[in-house]
Amino acid sequence: MTAFDALHAAPADVRAAALGLLDAVSAPLTERQLVTALRKGGLGVLEARRVARSLRKVDLIAVSRRSF
């Protein structure tokens, strides 16, 4: 069972508490924060800005490089 499945299967009060805690420790990245994260991931300035602009209507809370 994945963490998402466990959250979905949890009783309503547990789910509400868990989602409340997640909201408290996470916030959507601003466009500037997203550009910075994409730059650290290896994108160039213009490409990072273009990607960030295209994602501005999506609430992202994390960006991470793939580890192989």
Residue 68's pLDDT band (cuts 50, 70, 90):
low
In tens, the pLDDT along 17-46 reads 998 888 888 888 899 999 999 999 899 999
| Per-residue model confidence (pLDDT) at position 46 | 97
DSSP for 10-63?
A: S-HHHHHHHHHHHHHH--PPPHHHHHHHHHHTT--HHHHHHHHHHTTTS-----
Distance CA 31, CA 62 (A): 12
Tell me the backbone φ, ψ of residue 57, rounded to 5 degrees.
-95, 5
Q: Are 22 and 7 in contact (CB under 8 A)?
A: no
